[in-house]
Chain A
């Protein structure tokens, strides 16, 4: 069997990786596993931060190891090791089989996997400029200059910047014959200006809050964000928020900026469509979902202008949920989640696909690293662009509030009731932005909210936002997900609830 390994790192040499994969699969089979898949993964990461003109975090890390998932006695077992020797991986495979046999103690029925072809392939995500090859001075100089530009604005009490880069190589092999190598480079950056004044703290972030924007790609992302150019505006807005009026409490028209709509999709569409939640497998921790199986093709999730897809294919864009194959060797796919407002599809795996009558997995099994089990995760869950220009959307709004850049997010464990607050808002009157508002927030019930959507702006304003910090699973796994979104308008939304005292 020929294997293309173009682009694999010199580290340890790829043939050894395949040998560890093959040997652990052989041991698992000999020990009685009826199915096994194995991942060797090598993570490299660089983190840079500044605060008030000084370097904060300056570090690099790497981690390499092997994780093997097996079915034995009809039940699952998983073990992982950082001992990359033939003896080490053999011991790990044997442990996984023994764990599976223990799992069988409390088994209801045998694990059943949807059929899938086997693949021998190598894929590398887009990366024009390897961030690990860019001189550190270049990266720190940009962050320190941006940090200084924010502090030049009178009133700023805290300036912070960050960059994060990751390079992840994975070698996947399965007992059914797949051998897949993938390399993904992820880059992210962000800046924050904070102002403490009187008895309040206000802040503004760019290009997004909680670490900024993250994509699949190289240093070209950092250059495209123009951090230095945006620093003065970000700082000035943080200062201005202190003298802005409080966002009113009312029911009214809401326009969400793209990054906030991305998080709204993440929480109120992306999580409820995870089939493991729907089936109760996350009941103890992440929660369940209101999208019970009877609702598939039988629920008006949103207004007819709303179309949401889960799309892991590179054609969708270079998002944090973009790959060629998921972590159980299923090719990337596009799934209609909401089609013309109707609920149309779940995120599935080889084990769960048959439960909703699918012939194969939707390809959404992903793992944080070599020592974690793959689980159903969002890929790029995106709203498709509508027809409105952003200017026309504002001009068409008689009275409303435009909210942008997330400040807090919370939703119940079945994903019905949510509340978000954002860093900033603007009042819209007579089709124009008339004044800044502070402490904005809104809340609602998921399906009522999405059914109130009456306008989505066009592809010109559509950005594939990255959410790098999605937590799920026990042990906890933090995963990056993508959310393409453009600003959108919602009617009759409850606004200002977070600061209400009633």
Chain B
């Protein structure tokens, strides 16, 4: 959509603006100066500023409409193997001094940790550009206008629309007393719509750093067309089905693997990859990387200590080849840090936050055409882990489950509960679609393809 297509009326609120990066760096420098004056050997400061706005609609009307603007300063001190973190949203000098004192006090009351490391020194970062001025400038009125168009479209078709249109901008500055100076800013937008027709519903959602990369009306039409086909669902007996998982459904299942790639999780023996590195665990058509520099990804190119993120090949043709490492877990494992550590102190270590699952060339339409009997899954819901080592997940289908017969969508089906090992699923992938940025509700956004999977286990059926 074009945010400049019509001017907003006089009473409309202008979009808020982030502070300059220099202003945040000055606040950070003040923290480092105050800490030095207190005699603190090592100090790290994160500054995170967020502007978010969200227009929420249901029953073809806007019912919630919000905006927020906040800045958070998070300080970590380290001294003689003792570290702690204090976070505040007060940025005057007295408040910052008080936060430093609280941090020192917290840290001093704990036992010395012999495994703690000195903070990292100056780093070099690859430039990424994810800030789009037109997205930052989008106003409440412009979001409301797009929502109104979606609601009017629903009314014309005798449907009921519900959803959100959100936009935001954020920036992060990370400094430490040994020379780390990292900065990042981005914009983002999300349009999500559920169209209801009678007791049937379907859904579509777009998310990008630049709102021009998705079209709210196009998403509205997709959800509306599917809702119209979702009426009068047939009740099928549970069992094992060939399924075509749209990217949102793939994302929400594969997304649950993200922490399993953590070296700390493997060392703690709570990862499904413990004792399985180097083995042919998944199908040879599955390759997964973590790549913050992928053009469809967003996020800081550095980790919670300011270490630059590396592109990491996690799964190569079904074999788990590598994990991600923070500085501390890398030292334990005699590896190099990959720039995936969480802000310290924490017990979880690290995780890949920008998964990219390599895709193929088969479209969803071609997958349907190749299927004699199966199910097309729009999205999944309320996914939880049943077994951590076999990675059995349970959850429901939602907002558009369709029976495929003889290469065509025959009719809607009542929603199923699944109990399915994600590892087994990734051994049973028959076809892959092109990988693209996917967005859903259970996992954070990743780049994944649609998948055609055999023997997907549905255990029970619900009433709609």
On A, residues with C-beta under 8 Å from B are 49-52, 54-65, 67, 75-83, 94-96, 98-103, 105-108, 135-137, 140, 144, 157-158, 160, 194, 196, 199-201, 279-285, 287, 290, 371-373, 375, 407-414, 416-417, 419, 421, 439, 441, 443, 445, 474-475, 494, 497-502
A-B contact pairs, 14 of them (CB 8 A): A54-B115, A56-B345, A60-B103, A67-B68, A77-B140, A79-B68, A98-B12, A102-B141, A144-B111, A201-B269, A279-B58, A281-B59, A411-B382, A500-B419
Min Cβ gap A88→B in Å is: 10
Chain A contacts for B386, CB-based, 8 A: 407-408, 421, 441, 498-499
Instruction: Return the contact of A140 from the options B64, B109, B113, B382 (Cβ within 8 A).
Output: B109
Min Cβ gap A198→B in Å is: 9
Instruction: Let me know if B347 is at the binding interface, CB within 8 A.
Output: yes
Min Cβ gap B86→A in Å is: 5
Chain B contacts for A445, CB-based, 8 A: 462-463
When the two chains form their complex, are residues B398 and A408 in contact, meaning their CB atoms are under 8 A apart?
no
When the two chains form their complex, are residues B162 and A283 in contact, meaning their CB atoms are under 8 A apart?
yes
Instruction: Return the contact of B419 from the options A95, A494, A498 (Cβ within 8 A).
Output: A498
When the two chains form their complex, are residues B394 and A106 in contact, meaning their CB atoms are under 8 A apart?
no
When the two chains form their complex, are residues B419 and A497 in contact, meaning their CB atoms are under 8 A apart?
yes
Q: Closest chain A residue to B115 by CB distance?
A: A54
Q: Closest chain B residue to A45 by CB distance?
A: B87
Q: A60-B87, A64-B90 are in contact. Are A282 and B58 (CB under 8 A)?
A: yes
Q: A137-B109, A199-B389, A410-B395 are in contact. Are A79 and B66 (CB under 8 A)?
A: yes
On B, residues with C-beta under 8 Å from A are 11-13, 16, 52, 54-72, 74, 83-90, 102-103, 105-107, 109-111, 113, 115, 139-141, 143-145, 147-148, 151, 160, 162-164, 166, 192-194, 196, 201, 203, 239, 268-270, 274, 345-348, 381-390, 392, 394-396, 398-399, 415, 417, 419, 441, 457, 459-464
Q: A63-B89, A106-B57 are in contact. Are A284 and B65 (CB under 8 A)?
A: no
Docked CA distance A166–B357 (Å): 40
When the two chains form their complex, are residues A76 and B396 in contact, meaning their CB atoms are under 8 A apart?
no
When the two chains form their complex, are residues B389 and A201 in contact, meaning their CB atoms are under 8 A apart?
yes
User: A-B pairs with the 9 shortest C-beta distances?
Assistant: A56-B347, A98-B13, A417-B462, A196-B269, A61-B87, A283-B162, A136-B109, A106-B148, A59-B85
Chain A contacts for B89, CB-based, 8 A: 62-65, 82
Docked CA distance A499–B457 (Å): 11
Docked CA distance A125–B12 (Å): 41
When the two chains form their complex, are residues B395 and A108 in contact, meaning their CB atoms are under 8 A apart?
no
Q: Which of A63, A108, A412 has the most CB of B within 10 A?
A: A412
Min Cβ gap B11→A in Å is: 5
When the two chains form their complex, are residues A55 and B419 in contact, meaning their CB atoms are under 8 A apart?
no
When the two chains form their complex, are residues A100 and B68 in contact, meaning their CB atoms are under 8 A apart?
no
When the two chains form their complex, are residues B419 and A499 in contact, meaning their CB atoms are under 8 A apart?
yes
Docked CA distance A102–B148 (Å): 10
Q: A78-B65, A373-B64, A499-B387 are in contact. Are A58 and B106 (CB under 8 A)?
A: yes
Docked CA distance A94–B10 (Å): 13
Docked CA distance A94–B67 (Å): 12
Q: Which of B144, B274, B461 has the most CB of A within 10 A?
A: B144
Docked CA distance A70–B13 (Å): 14
Docked CA distance A287–B192 (Å): 14
When the two chains form their complex, are residues B347 and A160 in contact, meaning their CB atoms are under 8 A apart?
yes
Docked CA distance A400–B239 (Å): 27
Docked CA distance A80–B52 (Å): 10
Instruction: Return the contact of A439 from the options B85, B106, B148, B387 (Cβ within 8 A).
Output: B387
When the two chains form their complex, are residues B102 and A101 in contact, meaning their CB atoms are under 8 A apart?
no
Q: Which of B113, B269, B347 has the most CB of A within 10 A?
A: B347
Min Cβ gap A197→B in Å is: 9
When the two chains form their complex, are residues B144 and A103 in contact, meaning their CB atoms are under 8 A apart?
yes
When the two chains form their complex, are residues B384 and A417 in contact, meaning their CB atoms are under 8 A apart?
no
Q: Closest chain A residue to B71 by CB distance?
A: A82
When the two chains form their complex, are residues B463 and A99 in contact, meaning their CB atoms are under 8 A apart?
no
When the two chains form their complex, are residues B69 and A157 in contact, meaning their CB atoms are under 8 A apart?
no
Chain B contacts for A136, CB-based, 8 A: 105-106, 109-110
Q: Closest chain B residue to A81 by CB distance?
A: B69
Q: Closest chain A residue to B348 by CB distance?
A: A56
Docked CA distance A138–B457 (Å): 49
Min Cβ gap A47→B in Å is: 9
Q: Closest chain A residue to B397 by CB distance?
A: A412
When the two chains form their complex, are residues B67 and A99 in contact, meaning their CB atoms are under 8 A apart?
yes
Docked CA distance A282–B385 (Å): 24
When the two chains form their complex, are residues B415 and A412 in contact, meaning their CB atoms are under 8 A apart?
yes
When the two chains form their complex, are residues A498 and B464 in contact, meaning their CB atoms are under 8 A apart?
no
Chain B contacts for A410, CB-based, 8 A: 382-384, 394-396, 417
Q: A106-B151, A284-B163, A416-B463 are in contact. Are A79 and B67 (CB under 8 A)?
A: yes
Chain B contacts for A287, CB-based, 8 A: 381, 398
Chain A contacts for B84, CB-based, 8 A: 58-60
When the two chains form their complex, are residues A280 and B90 in contact, meaning their CB atoms are under 8 A apart?
no
Min Cβ gap A115→B in Å is: 21
Chain B contacts for A105, CB-based, 8 A: 62, 141, 144-145, 148
Docked CA distance A19–B445 (Å): 42
Min Cβ gap B443→A in Å is: 14
Q: A95-B13, A417-B417, A443-B460 are in contact. Are A499 and B111 (CB under 8 A)?
A: no
Chain A contacts for B399, CB-based, 8 A: 413
Docked CA distance A199–B269 (Å): 11
Min Cβ gap B199→A in Å is: 9
Instruction: Return the contact of B201 from the options A283, A475, A499, A500 (Cβ within 8 A).
Output: A283
Q: A410-B417, A413-B398, A417-B463 are in contact. Are A280 and B196 (CB under 8 A)?
A: yes
Min Cβ gap A239→B in Å is: 14
Q: Closest chain A residue to B50 by CB distance?
A: A371
Chain A contacts for B59, CB-based, 8 A: 108, 279-281
When the two chains form their complex, are residues B65 and A77 in contact, meaning their CB atoms are under 8 A apart?
yes
Q: Closest chain A residue to B384 by CB distance?
A: A408
Q: Closest chain B residue to A109 by CB distance?
A: B61
When the two chains form their complex, are residues A102 and B269 in contact, meaning their CB atoms are under 8 A apart?
no
Docked CA distance A498–B459 (Å): 8
Q: Which of A200, A285, A445, A501 has the most CB of B within 10 A?
A: A285
Chain B contacts for A94, CB-based, 8 A: 13
When the two chains form their complex, are residues B270 and A99 in contact, meaning their CB atoms are under 8 A apart?
no
Docked CA distance A285–B382 (Å): 11
Given contacts A56-B347, A283-B196, A417-B417, 11 further A-B contacts (CB under 8 A): A65-B70, A94-B13, A101-B11, A106-B57, A196-B269, A201-B388, A283-B58, A408-B386, A414-B463, A417-B463, A498-B394
Docked CA distance A140–B383 (Å): 34
Min Cβ gap B112→A in Å is: 10
Instruction: Return the contact of B61 from the options A50, A106, A373, A502 (Cβ within 8 A).
Output: A106
Q: Closest chain B residue to A199 by CB distance?
A: B389
Docked CA distance A56–B384 (Å): 25
Q: Closest chain A residue to B201 by CB distance?
A: A283
Q: A99-B66, A408-B385 are in contact. Are A62 and B109 (CB under 8 A)?
A: no
Min Cβ gap B188→A in Å is: 12
When the two chains form their complex, are residues B347 and A51 in contact, meaning their CB atoms are under 8 A apart?
yes
Docked CA distance A78–B66 (Å): 5
When the two chains form their complex, are residues B54 and A474 in contact, meaning their CB atoms are under 8 A apart?
yes
Q: Which of B63, B239, B398 has the most CB of A within 10 A?
A: B63
Q: Closest chain A residue to B84 by CB distance?
A: A58
Q: A280-B160, A412-B398, A439-B387 are in contact. Are A498 and B392 (CB under 8 A)?
A: yes
Q: Closest chain B residue to A46 by CB distance?
A: B106
When the two chains form their complex, are residues A416 and B66 in contact, meaning their CB atoms are under 8 A apart?
no
When the two chains form their complex, are residues A76 and B203 in contact, meaning their CB atoms are under 8 A apart?
no
Chain A contacts for B457, CB-based, 8 A: 501
Docked CA distance A501–B418 (Å): 11
Q: Closest chain B residue to A441 by CB distance?
A: B386
Chain B contacts for A439, CB-based, 8 A: 387
Chain B contacts for A107, CB-based, 8 A: 61-62
Q: Closest chain B residue to A60 by CB distance?
A: B86
When the two chains form their complex, are residues A58 and B85 in contact, meaning their CB atoms are under 8 A apart?
yes
Min Cβ gap B230→A in Å is: 13
When the two chains form their complex, are residues A59 and B67 in contact, meaning their CB atoms are under 8 A apart?
no
Q: Which of B71, B399, B464 has the most CB of A within 10 A?
A: B464
Docked CA distance A279–B386 (Å): 32
